[in-house]
Amino acid sequence: MKFQGSKNYVATQDLMLAVNASATLRKPLLVKGEPGTGKTMLAEEVADALGLPLLQWHIKSTTKAQQGLYEYDAVSRLRDSQLSSVEGGDKVRDIHNYIVKGVLWQAFTSEQPVALLIDEIDKADIEFPNDLLREIDRMEFYVYETRELIRARHRPLVFITSNNEKELPDAFLRRCFFHYIKFPDADTMKQIVDVHFPGLKKELLAAAMKTFYEVRNLPGLKKKPSTSELLDWLKLLVAEDIPLDALQSRDDKIAVPPLIGALLKNEQDVTLFEKLVFMQRHNR
Ligand SMILES: Nc1ncnc2c1ncn2[C@@H]1O[C@H](COP(=O)(O)OP(=O)(O)O)[C@@H](O)[C@H]1O
Ligand SMILES: [Mg+2]
């Protein structure tokens, strides 16, 4: 079971090593990196390549660790007990009917081995990772309401992603194998674009990439555009049939490139970029 990248996903050598290392150590792979650098997609592609179903848990600021295990739906039980007829009473009496299984429970009890994605763990509050330590370590948890121990049949292949909005606790880090997806260099980026737009004209790609990296390297930018933004922009350039010379600045005309809203997502950054273009024009 070795991950070699896929036809939809460009994996660098060190990323493939990291995936396989975490599988060997049987520890979760903690993937960090800027938004849009392919962290979520990595889990999808690895699961697909290894033929494992992928269970996904997308974390929000309000997500609690317990929700990944199970929740006891006391409200429904109370309502059923008030509404139900005599026959319905059986359902109400059995507490199992009101235990809602979380993603970890499903992953642990699945018949076949699965992959599990805990996506954007840094969105949750600081207690969240600590609250999952035991479950991740021992691959088991206890259901107090029914006095059951849920233990993993097969250890799932676990991916945890973080956009680095918050630091993660040391005790949690110790249990993971860590990989940082560096922002792709130009060569890797070309391969990624090629996966999405196989027939793209070389000149258009070169001009678009030049502008893209110029924008990205602009000092003081609030939000740097990433891979997914470049792909969006290229898609628009192709769809709108934008001519090549709209992207190439000729001596007499340096202008803000078309559809820049795909790359820059706030007005300060757009203003900053316009200033740069204005200065370039004056330095001629
Ligand atoms: N290495 C890659 N190979 C192919 N496509 C990629 C790659 N990295 C990013 N992408 C593209 O960028 C998009 C965003 O990736 P995603 O996994 O959602 O990023 P993240 O989870 O890191 O924010 C993907 O849908 C995919 O189209
Ligand atoms: Mg993501």
pLDDT in tens, 255-278: 788 899 999 999 999 999 988 888
Q: Report the chain's C-alpha Rg in angstroms.
A: 24
φ, ψ for residue 270, nearest 5 deg: -65, -45
Give the Å distances, CA to CA, from 78 to 92, 100, 156, 246. Answer: 8, 15, 35, 65
The protein residue with its alpha carbon nearest to ligand 1, atom 1, reads 10
Give residue 254's pLDDT: 66
Confidence of residue 249 (pLDDT cuts 50, 70, 90): low
Residue list, CB under 5 A from ion ligand 2: 40
Ligand nearest to the Cα of 44, by number = 1
pLDDT at residue 25, as a whole number? 95
Q: Is there a contact between 113 and 156 (Cβ–Cβ < 8 Å)?
A: yes
Kindly give the distance from the C-alpha atom of residue 206 to the centroid of ligand 1, in angstroms, as a whole number. 20
How far apart CA 179 and CA 32 sit, in angstroms, is 6
Query: What mean pLDDT do residues 238-248 have?
Result: 86
Gap from CA of 262 to ligand 2 centroid (Å)? 18
Q: Residue 250: its pLDDT value, please?
A: 60
> 102-111, 240-249, 269-278: which has the minimum mean pLDDT?
240-249
Per the structure block, which two tokens stand in for 117?
């994605």
Q: How many whole angstroms separate alpha carbon 87 and alpha carbon 147?
A: 26
227 lines ligand 1 (CB under 6 A): yes
CA 154, chain centre distance (Å): 24
SS3 of 186, please?
Answer: helix
Alpha carbon distance 180, 32 (integer Å): 5
For atom 16 of ligand 1, the residue with the nearest CA is 38
Q: Is 192 in the pocket of ligand 1 (CB under 6 A)?
A: yes
